[in-house]
Amino acid sequence: MTTTTADYLEPSPRMRELQLMELLEGQPQTSQSSLASLVGLTPARVNAYIRMFKEREYITTEQLSQGMAYRLTPQGRRCLAYHQVSYRAELVRLTQATRSRFRQFFGELRKQGVFRVALYGAGETGEVVMDALTGTEVVTVVCVIDDDPVKRGRLCRGAPIRHRSELRGLAPDAVVITSITQDEAIRARLAKLAEPSLRIVSILE
């Protein structure tokens, strides 16, 4: 089932339609109370969607010995396909906008003489930044710094994950903090390296 867990992607009515139709396609005998629990709606709201689906001839209903079965009609499957394609197209647009924003950010750093960077944070944001820089020559990512010992020695979208103590030997022009919530803590850790010339910037700047 298509799900959204991000703070800024509050499910719209179209998203609810998509979620419910995907569930009905795979599990036509799911009760309305179960559907409500799965998509985070009240049973009454799910019932309203079911009635709308019936009115638009997206589903047929079948009375079973225990409960009801809701089956997508050919028209319902076409509607589901439309929602799925539209949803993914919207995600692509959001991804492209994010990549453009990050490329612009690093382009500004390049204008300031920053050509080699170390990213600090191999989490989701770090991976998104690496994706944005893949295939470009805006800057060179010499490594990704992370405090999780489990991650060190691995790769983050092709860049080696290292400990911050290795920064001196790598000599980046700047360290770019990609963590959204740990900015101050990371700056404090970097300050202990006693590298006054080390430039530190945040992806949020």
Q: Return d(Cα 200, Cα 117) in angstroms, integer.
A: 10
> What would the pLDDT profile of 52-66 be if each residue is shown by its tens digit?
999 999 999 999 888
Which residue range(s) make up the domain with 176? 113-202
Residue 187 belongs to a domain: yes
Residue 2 pLDDT exceeds 80: no
Q: Return d(Cα 18, Cα 16) in angstroms, integer.
A: 5
Residue 3: pLDDT band by 50, 70, 90 thresholds?
Answer: low
Q: Return d(Cα 187, Cα 166) in angstroms, integer.
A: 16
Q: Do residues 122 and 42 share a domain?
A: no
Residue 2 or 30, more confident: 30
What's the average model confidence in pLDDT over 87-97? Answer: 91
pLDDT of residue 6: 52
What's the average model confidence in pLDDT over 159-173? Answer: 91
What's the average model confidence in pLDDT over 92-111? Answer: 93
What's the average model confidence in pLDDT over 182-200? Answer: 87
Residue 84: pLDDT band by 50, 70, 90 thresholds?
Answer: very high
Residue 121 pLDDT exceeds 90: yes
Domain end among 30, 61, 93? 93
Residue 168: pLDDT band by 50, 70, 90 thresholds?
Answer: confident
Q: Do residues 128 and 196 share a domain?
A: yes
Residue 60 belongs to a domain: yes
Residue 147 belongs to a domain: yes
Cβ pair 191, 165 in contact under 8 A: no
Given CA atoms 173, 178, 184, 185 in this order, what sign does their dihedral have?
A: negative
Residue 167 belongs to a domain: yes
The domain total for the chain is 2
Q: Return d(Cα 100, Cα 103) in angstroms, integer.
A: 5
